[in-house]
Amino acid sequence: MNSDLKPITLRFWRALSGREPVREWLTDLPKQDRWTVGKDISKVQFGWPVGLPVCRPLKDGLWEVRSSLPSGREARVLFGFVDGEMIALHAFIKKTQRTPSSDLDLARGRLKDVSK
């Protein structure tokens, strides 16, 4: 990556309790999986706008970083933009072809919370 580029700032959604669920999820991943997700997030930060296969728009201001993990699983990090910052809202291991509505609803709610 070009070191002259200024990345989009990444911020993790934070609950009132102070927890940062996406950061915690990343920390719990095996080292190689964590590295892959981090690399894909960096591609978005340094190369915005980024399209498939790394990033895809969803609805209502949500986007997803798509990572194929060395462990053979698929990971998704849902994010949105607020005041020019990339906000990591929710992350999960994809188990079905469609993104579950509960995961989308959770990310939408967190984005509304940050946008206040």
CATH number for the domain that contains residue 47: 3.30.2310
Range of the domain at 74: 10-115
Write down the pLDDT at residue 60: 93
Domain presence at residue 1: no
pLDDT digits (tens, 9 = 90+) for 24-62: 999 999 999 999 999 999 999 999 999 999 999 999 999
For the beta carbon of residue 112, count every other beta carbon within 10 angstroms.
12
Give the count of domains, the chain.
1
Write down the pLDDT at residue 6: 86
Domain presence at residue 4: no
